[in-house]
Amino acid sequence: MLIADTVRTVLVVHLGADPDRLEGPARLDEDVGLDSLGLTEALLVLEDELSISIPDPVQAALRTVDDLVAVVAAQVGRRRDQA
């Protein structure tokens, strides 16, 4: 499964996000409806499912679905490089 698909699945299944609102430039807060607690929950699920860690400063900078996908993909890439 592609990273973008995994991120979208987590947002839909775990947080009840509307899949039609998960286009790349969609803002996590205003368009998707995630508050800080929802974003934290999504990040915890993604970190657990993908065996990655997303640093707090990076988490704080996330604004869009594209941002989230890019950060998750970068962390997965780092994990693979270290393996």
Tens of pLDDT along 20-35?
A: 999 889 999 999 999 9
CATH fold group of domain 3-82: 1.10.1200
pLDDT at 65 over 90: yes
Please state, in angstroms and as integers, the Cα–Cα distance from residue 52 to each residue in 32, 43, 71, 76, following that order.
23, 10, 10, 6
Across the chain, mean pLDDT equals 93
Q: What angle do CA 13, 11, 29 make, to 5 degrees?
A: 140
pLDDT at 58 over 90: yes
CB 75 within 8 A of CB 54: yes
Residue % of the chain over a pLDDT of 70: 99
pLDDT at 80 over 90: no
